[in-house]
A and B are shown apart, each in its own frame.
Chain A
């Protein structure tokens, strides 16, 4: 057992982080959301992601892919979650090898999820599932346009599992990032003549965030290795919790500034909410894990 990142995995993570820092920094993030008709998908960036192998990561090399596995995909999606990279990343990743152009980032693929919600419908070249007559919502997340489709799509069971796992990976990245933002703020923001991070109440909020991140990280990475449905459900539950509660605690640490549109904290929280209700959400995970208790105990 060597349950640690390999050298190659560390290099992959650093590579993705570098690419995203160069191509999707904070200015780009704010520019994407401050568009009157809602955010637009950056097709140039999508192609670059395709060139970098983001979508074809798990395709065999014979099929023009990178030939890596789920643990590597999880690391890439964790990085996407750290910077709030927008777009139907998971649907396009899962379509690589099936939908022409998805692997290279030439085609944008989205899908109707189990709750009947579609992300990035208008930007998509290909929609999996029935999105006829879908109605546009006023999306809570300024970086994710949402539509409500008539029929929920049960989806392919394997796809639902992978969507849940990669969602957990994105949530993990977001949870880790909001933890860092909270700590940065707590170190520098002064009140009552000292950094607020010297107050135990603030310290304990930040420590709680880290604990949730570390527990979720172990669960997400393990699920990527085992691909066991109960492991994936556990990873999803804990990563959703780490992201949503982490973003709320980060907002709290930022005080009044955290409540403003200018602060990025809102974006992390809203995206975490959007992801948390994707297929394989709380109730389904808890029921699956409860059933697993019985079958494992027998």
Chain B
């Protein structure tokens, strides 16, 4: 068991730190959260900057330990997150890389790496959230096209995306995991309507996407027809323990800032609150260690206990962090109720963590059945 960087890792970390120190000061100002074209331009610009500096492919194929160092150092330095490039870099891109044809790789991958094209994800549907395999959007074969009708929901960045990685049902008679196909749908195709969806935090983070007889070329299919479920599962495990590296680092920073704020405003003298912050310190330290454990395991190619265990604990801990923030910062003058307080928006956003990407209840069942081998649940 070793927690120190190898010489190669240390060299990468130092080089990255030096580069971040030079690159970050010249970044343009961050756009407002509701300025979608501005966000797109900003996020693509950052990806282009990374690409030009030789870090464009750090998420792909790199040693997970190197990727962890990248995420840790960029977060510590306050660099932008993947943002609008999330699906392209972390999901659709790796899917195409692993399962696509040479032609498909040549068409779709370079624009993602160079920060030229944005992808969104067309997986969830109003009646198929955590039960993804229940999706009903139809893809009917018509010559060399699929004709797609249905609707998708919770689609981040749909308003500014060039492509959508889309799951459609191509064989309604097959068992529900078997009749699904993975398609790359151009977002400018006729028949697509994007409607922003306002969240409880007041932001237009997501959209609904309505599909009315949209024609998608058969050439845009990745993997075989009706094999989309397997194609998707291959890449859902792609992140291999590194998915939350930046978030854990960010939570540790927020917790340190909360402690300093509590000392400033006197709330530190409340032993109950102080110890609660101490316990959160234990929580995020342990989550950081679990990240390092999972990343080391992934580096050896061993399938680990996996993301569900981490996600269950992390999503809960992050919500607890903002509950504690309300205790520390929200005591006076109604600030706990003031949406101008940036931490209050974080608190509202954190409510999604136990729901998104499979609810905590579904994650518990996944752990029980797939990791612990308990019988299929009712």
Contact = CB atoms under 8 A, between A and B. Distances in A.
Given A6-B1, A203-B368, A297-B260, A198 B377 contact: yes
Nearest to B367: A207
Interface residues on A, range: 35 or more
Nearest to B299: A2
B300 interface: yes
Contacts, number: 179
Interface string A208-219: 101100111111
A28 interface: no
A157 B279 CA distance: 22
A97 interface: no
B3 A3 contact: yes
A289 B278 contact: yes
Contacts of A208: 364
Contacts of B127: none
B5 interface: yes
B2 A2 contact: yes
Interface in A206-237: 206-208, 210-211, 214-219, 221-222, 224-226, 230-231, 233-235, 237
A287 interface: yes
A182 to B, nearest CB: 9
B378 A200 contact: yes
Residue among A71, A215, A219 with the most chain B CB within 10 A? A215
B266 interface: no
B118 interface: no
Interface string A35-77: 0000000000000000000000000000000000001000000
B354 to A, nearest CB: 13
Nearest to A292: B281
A210 B371 contact: yes
A230 B285 contact: yes
Contacts of A199: 377-378
A218 B368 contact: no
6 pairs of A and B residues whose beta carbons are closest in the complex:
A297-B256, A290-B278, A203-B368, A286-B278, A234-B282, A197-B374
10 contacts: A2-B2, A4-B300, A183-B374, A197-B368, A198-B374, A204-B364, A218-B290, A286-B278, A293-B281, A297-B260
Interface of B: 1-6, 9, 65, 255-260, 263, 274-279, 281-283, 285-287, 289-290, 292-293, 295-297, 299-300, 305, 309, 312-313, 361, 363-365, 367-369, 371-378
